[in-house]
Amino acid sequence: MNKEQSNEVPGMVDLATIVSLCKRRGFIYQNSEIYGGLGSVWDYGPLGVELKNNLKRLWWKSMVYERNDVEGLDAAILMNHDVWKTSGHVTGFKDLLVDCKSCKKRFRHDLIKSDVCPECKGELTEPKAFNLMFRTFVGSVESDANEIFLRPETAQGIFVNFKNILTSSRRKLPFGVAQIGKAFRNEITTGNFTFRSREFEQMELEYFTYPEESDKWFEYWVNERFNWYTTYGIKNANIRLRKHDKEELAHYAKSCYDVEFLFPMGWSELEGIAHRTDFDLKQHSAVSGKSLSYFDEERKQDIMPHVIEPSGGVDRAFLAFVLDAYREEKVRGEKRVVLGLNKFLAPVKVAVLPLLKKKPEIVAMAKAIYKDLSGNYKVVYDDTASIGKLYRRQDEIGTLYCVTVDVESLEDKKVTVRDRDTMEQKRIPVSDLKSYIDKLVR
């Protein structure tokens, strides 16, 4: 744990606690750990993949299924070299870096507050530009002609497919294209757990509008995306909007808002909503020689749509939802840790817990319930500790309901269903259990 990972925000759980919980309970592991790891690359464990999938599904539901103006896309990570030249990333996607002449460490120039090394106070070199894209080669010859990049954003896959999507879906303006996928950046300033990773996932929407309506849609999407996070549980005190100053705007943006979350290291970007104008479609049309304009049947006119782009990070949203949901309570003098995640995000919906594992009839009944409830969401079975410990385990990972099977269950064919948040317990007939739980968790 380095200095950056210390808790600076009063009231917010510190990052070290979350890093430890994530590893111990199987949410997130360090990548290639047995070989000493690979800096700022992370693997999602059994619970992590559940939460991450739930998060992506929720985004897709809001952005695609609940609307009738958005199509989906899954473009490849590898793209023609010229895409990145045209988009401005080959020349523009750079950080200015300085090296320490004594300890040889490298820093981002804009994050250094003095003109000496922040670690050892040594002399620094002049700033040098460093492109954040990972380079690789297609085919067997490692030459400049075969150089390609791992995409640093998923957006370009949408722009270069604009005409394909338009033709095959017969969409009219305004409409959007949504995509979730991996992106890669050779980040220099790392730390803060998954906040700034070298391999991460983005959830991006490119929303194509008439130029004259673009400002209205920009405002619409800023509000829409802010509300998405609060709808699924982020507390109002931990989230805010911040407008970019002119000098921090990306090379393609006319205007941008960040949805910021109060991370332990302070307010930081969770998602950006950018007004990309017609920058990308125009650039790709000019360089490829293939027009990416939209023919408006009513106006009998070619239009270059303007683009509003809400671009969020899956990994950052994951971290924000976990940080926001973590709470510690005192119950009968004992500490109770609860991950109070929204029901759609919780990785495990139900845990089935037999109270007396020595009694074969109880085990058989619990296993039958476990099997019956499984199928549409994650259900776990656990008989490896006392009931108090089993409840604590499930609370700590945010399991919504615990179903306990006891001696009485054999007689009355009822089980106890315990609610994670209220800890209220109800006896429910086994015959009604599946529909009862289904209604609560879906």
The residue written with tokens 């673009």 in the block is 214
Distance, in Å, from the CA atom of 423 to the CA atom of 330, rounded to the nearest integer, reads: 13
Q: From residue 74, how far is each of 58, 66, 204, 396 by CA, in Å?
A: 17, 19, 11, 34
The residue whose Cβ lies closest to ligand GAP is: 313
Q: Kindly indicate which of the ranges 193-201, 339-347, 360-368, 411-419 contains the residues binding ligand GAP, using the contact rule CB under 6 A.
A: 193-201
| Pattern 124-163, ligand GAP, x by CB under 6 A | -----------------------------x-x--------
Name which position in 50, 204, 260, 280 contacts ligand GAP (CB under 6 A): 204
Task: Write down the least CB distance from residue 318 to ligand GAP, Å.
Answer: 10
Element holding 280 (H helix, E strand):
helix 279-288
Q: Which three-class secondary structure state does DSSP give residue 48?
A: helix
- Vertex 1 angle, CA 242 and 107, to 5°: 60
| # of chain residues touching ligand GAP (CB under 6 A) | 19
Q: Which is nearer to ligand GAP, 54 or 156 (CB)?
A: 156
Tokens of 54: 């739930």
State CA 217 to chain mean position distance: 23
- Report the residue from 312, 347, 354, 398 that binds ligand GAP according to the rule CB under 6 A: 312
Is the omega angle on the peptide bond into residue 174 within 30 degrees of 0, that is, cis?
A: yes
The strand pairing partners of 179, in sequence order, are 204
Nearest CA among 282, 279, 207, 268 for reference residue 239? 268
By the rule CB under 6 A, 209 interacts with ligand GAP: no
Please identify, among the stretches 113-121, 196-204, 283-291, 346-354, the one whose residues bind ligand GAP according to the rule CB under 6 A.
196-204
Rounded to whole angstroms, the Cα distance separating 425 from 418 reads 4
Q: In this complex, which beta carbon is closest to ligand GAP, that of residue 268 or of residue 288? A: 268
* SS3 at position 321: helix
Site track for ligand GAP across 237-276, x = CB under 6 A: --------------------------------xxxx----
Residue from 50, 99, 278, 315 binding ligand GAP (CB under 6 A): 315
Q: Which of 255, 311, 342, 399 binds ligand GAP (CB under 6 A)?
A: 311
- Binding residues for ligand GAP, rule: CB under 6 A, are 153, 155, 185, 187, 196-197, 200, 202, 204, 269-272, 309, 311-313, 315-316
